[in-house]
Amino acid sequence: MGNPTSSPEVVVITGASAGVGRATVREFARRGAHVALIARGRDGLEGARREVEQAGGRALVLPLDVADADAVEQAAETVERELGPIDVWVNNAMVSVFSPVKQMRPEEYRRVTEVTYLGYVYGTLAALRRMLPRDRGFIVQVGSALAYRGIPLQSAYCGAKHAIQGFMDSLHAELIHDRSNVRVTMVQLPAVNTPQFSWVKSRLPREPQPVPPIYEPEVAARAVYWAAHNERRELYVGWPTVKAIVGNKVAPGLGDRYLARNAYDSQQTDEPVSPDRRDNLWEPVPGDHGAHGSFGDRASDASPHLWATTHRGLFALAGVGALLGAAAAKLLLDARERRLDDTQLERFRESGVM
């Protein structure tokens, strides 16, 4: 339900300064969108702005913390005043803490929840206030396989992603009840090579890493763009995401035991944590960190599963073709058998048996 006119699409992206958000900015910009950029770090936002403008679009830099509901609402007003009606709102901003539950602090849970869950809620509310009266628009929640399958050492983040998924179930039903043409979707991601692992708050003895297999942020960005222009309730990105979500539905206890054995080491590199490590839980880490993390040598820039799930129509056509081919083959076999039956009958007649 994008812009019905030929004017450029107006898109809001939170967490736009780095990682998946930054890659998503580039994806929309290269397709001609005007992009409003929301994050706390001005250095990264300015870098994203330059990339949008180099692609020929307009960019609006809005430095703010998505945990501030009033700031998010004011940003939405500014976007519509400066760029026009919002066609797509992408909620992506996040913070996390790598730590065993027993070492977590209440204020850390509160902070992760306010950004990674309530930040999505506030963005959704701001978008709905504008999209519902127009009866059009797309809201995309950037989720994770961890929205369904929690893993050790990331309880705050997993809890926030679970909360978004539950929030979305309620919202889907309400929009259907209201017969609204506003569309909402959630894109569930696998492990992605982003800078967050360099600055996430961590109590682990070794440097954090995404759980292999790892994908480049451009894979996630293509998924987000596709989800913003196609009516899919939920989009699973990558076979690891499918395995995690479906496996948890089938055998969650087995998943618990597997993760207890493997998920501690798989979330850490072999490098000890740097003594001067900085984190972005309360304040952004200065600098423009771009879209990519330091795991490019192990990351894939393509997902055959994503291609397949976003090209279901081709598979449906192939399936129809296969069915038609099988039906034609059956008709030919039936005709051949009928010819054989007629020949045998004639032979019986000629022999005087009949």
Instruction: Show which residues are catalytic.
Output: 157
Helical H segments across the chain, by residue range: 19-30, 42-54, 69-82, 106-116, 118-134, 155-177, 196-199, 217-227, 239-250, 252-266, 304-309, 312-350
SS3 at position 101: helix
Length of the chain, in residues: 354
Q: Please, what's the largest Cα pairwise distance for the chain?
A: 104
Pair 162, 209: CB distance under 8 Å: no
Find the radius of gyration of the CA atoms of the chain: 26
- The 8-class DSSP code of residue 13 comes to E
- Whether residue 63 contacts residue 14, with contact meaning beta carbons closer than 8 Å, is answered with no
108 touches 201 (CB < 8 A): yes
Q: For the purposes of burial, counting CB atoms within 10 Å of the CB of 106, is it exposed (0-12), middle (13-18) or buried (19 or more)?
A: exposed
Look-up of token digits 């279901």: 312
Would you state the structure tokens that stand for residue 296, as one six-digit string? 């490019």
